[in-house]
Amino acid sequence: RLVILDESSSSNCNDGGSLEENNDDLSLFIELMSPISSAQPDQMSASSLAYLGDVVFELFIRSRYVWPQRRMPVLQNTVVGLVNAEAQSKLLQQFVDNFTLTSAEQAVLARGRNASLTARKKGKGGESMYQDSTAFEALLGYTYINDKVRFTEMISWMKLELDKMDGLML
């Protein structure tokens, strides 16, 4: 289905558009921002899931910190500080300690940890940190494709954790 949007066809909750129009817009947005409907995450490599998970997590983080306005170097340092392997590994550990995972999600984490990636480094934190980071990204990629409601639950939990972290930094 090809959909072309122009200014006259867009609406949002603040311009008086109806709830039905806004839900249609949201549904269209979700459709446009999702992999093709034939995508089967159970048959995708852990690296491919992590590739997608990396993107959606970084978009979440960038969207979260872009406002209030910051100087670009400060914004970049904030984002990089949260989307790196060390931060993702720590967030994954908190996540699995506080969030009940299904057996399928646990299997995705295992696949992500065992993925063969050339980008892993043997610096601070070692290979285990990079395995955790890849597992974290693979899980996000998997749920993003497979279950938008579950993905939203996970991102919402992460938002609350980041809110706590941000409160400590103030």
pLDDT single digits (tens) 148-170: 999 999 999 999 999 998 886 54
13 touches 22 (CB < 8 A): yes
Q: What is the largest CA-CA distance in the chain?
A: 54
Q: CB burial class (10 A; 0-12, 13-18, 19+) of residue 155?
A: middle
Segment 96-105 shows an average pLDDT of 94
Segment 96-100 shows an average pLDDT of 93
For residue 51 the two structure tokens come to 């590739």
61 touches 140 (CB < 8 A): no
Q: For residue 54, indicate whether it is catalytic.
A: yes
| pTM, full prediction | 0.80
Q: Determine what percent of the chain is predicted with pLDDT higher than 70.
A: 82
Is residue 47 very low, low, confident or very high in pLDDT (cuts 50, 70, 90)? very high
64 touches 159 (CB < 8 A): yes
| Catalytic, out of 54, 97, 147, 163 | 54
